[in-house]
Chains A and B, each alone.
Chain A
């Protein structure tokens, strides 16, 4: 049963290898990709069920006892995200059946996607800081190549910025991990938690906390470090950005939440004003940036940043409600934002442009597409029956309980801004009349359109379910938050055998 935890790593790895072996057979690669992500979804839901039944699961690779060997751990938080990874992987793979051109595919798009998923799953599962670094690098290398695949001029520009900033983040992370090892003599996260509880938090420990915070914030695109994201996210193919925005930046937030609730709870409490400030500014600057964008993909990239602020807000507040809100919001944003990106990709395919000025009048021809854009847009903005509302409600409630009135005001204000710019974008694309002299619509072959619409539909459906029956998901998020805040169970699950 415990070997189940290895599967999220084995499946993408095996698929990537098989995909490389089938380098010249693109159909084989496609089916492998779909099979693997579907399997990942099944395994993810299995792990989630197991964790609900038997508590936090951990497994020691090669049977080395816990603080020395490599540990994989799954609690509710990570298994929820594993499941989400599977679903997102499946959606993006299906979408790219139609969207990825032969050039990309012949350069190994599908195996790379699997390597990316491998890195993401590894980061979610690992119980060891240095391992986390390694998984990050696996993920990054895959993402670098995916980003630069195709080799267009503006892609190069984005790739250079992305590579440089992420490598600086990696260097910071490595330095932080090294210093932490010097101070505590261990790298196992559960063991670190115990060691740091015992020692006074002065001198190097806060410095290390700040180093790690900066490193993870760069990956997650938190306020002072977000500049690489809008520079690079609008250039690659839509399927690639979708997976980036759904998984890569969320891995940063996942790790922030994991490390700062488990290892540095004291520093988190001490740095609360800073974290909350960063959260508020991230929301604000993301939204303001989005307001100024004339192009749909850029607008959505800024929107990604703005939403990351909400996720960070939950960490800063550090109450069960706030963390549960963050986790709920994370799941919601994966579904909703990805739908937006996928729909944008479809528009780009059909019209050949995503510049707002050149678009218009699509509603009459593609009402379904219009709904598929409007629904997640309203959801992201937080209109009541949709999923974004419940996440925001939880965060705002938690903020009021924590007496962070300024931050709550910012969060609400940014929601209004989000509503404003997304609805304006929607009107620009779908509602207003087509500008004179605009390019003729050329729609892709019907089969391909179905492949591109199906994932968007699925994600919208998921988002709707989350919105209409929030209790189902929120209960899980609540459990996950409790497990994060009371880390005894986590520590026991990892180190139990040795104590």
Chain B
């Protein structure tokens, strides 16, 4: 079930990334980030309803304890992802101000030199 969701997210993210609009590119990035996080979540050997650690004087349960590392990884990755997305948003705002369009093709064209200031 989750595998299908991850696949869908990757596909959608990739599709959005190759679109011409930069806004869609940012959405694509967000989706890709989430897909990667979910991937870690799934392959990180989930154990449901188990504590991630045992108190010092506690009894070690015979069942496997949940592994906190994937959670820590995802948490870090989410935070970094937010930072990057925030930067990307500011960047596209800036690009929009400079270029006046969110179309990637219009940025590359030959009318260079216009909008040098800004």
Contacts and interface: CB of A to CB of B under 8 A. Distances in A.
Q: Are A and B associated in one complex?
A: yes
Interface of A: 130, 133-134, 137, 140-141, 144-145, 148, 151-154, 156-157, 159-160, 163-164, 167-168, 170-171, 174-175, 177-179, 181-183, 185, 187
A160 B70 CA distance: 31
Contacts of B88: 163, 167
A153 B84 contact: no
B84 A134 contact: no
B30 to A, nearest CB: 10
A181 B43 contact: yes
B95 A174 contact: no
8 contacts: A152-B98, A159-B91, A163-B88, A164-B25, A171-B36, A178-B36, A178-B73, A179-B43
Contact of A181 (B32, B44, B112, B118): B44
Contact of B94 (A137, A156, A174, A177): A156
Contacts of B15: none
Contact of B91 (A163, A175, A177, A187): A163
Given A148-B91, A178-B44, A137 B39 contact: no
A137 B81 CA distance: 9
Given A153-B98, A164-B17, A141 B36 contact: no
A415 B87 CA distance: 40
Nearest to A148: B91
Question: Which bracket fits the contact residues of B?
Answer: 35 or more
Interface of B: 13, 17, 22, 25, 29, 32-33, 35-37, 39-40, 43-45, 67, 69-70, 73, 76-77, 80, 83-84, 87-88, 91-92, 94-95, 98-99, 104, 107-108, 112, 114-116, 118
B109 to A, nearest CB: 10
Given A151-B94, A153-B98, A160-B107, A145 B40 contact: no
Contacts of A152: 98, 116, 118
A160 B91 contact: yes
Nearest to A152: B116
B84 A156 contact: no
A179 B40 CA distance: 7
A154 B118 CA distance: 12
B87 A145 contact: yes
B105 to A, nearest CB: 11
Contact of B95 (A160, A167, A175): A160
Contacts of B22: 160
A145 B67 CA distance: 36
A157 B108 contact: yes
Contacts of B77: 133, 174
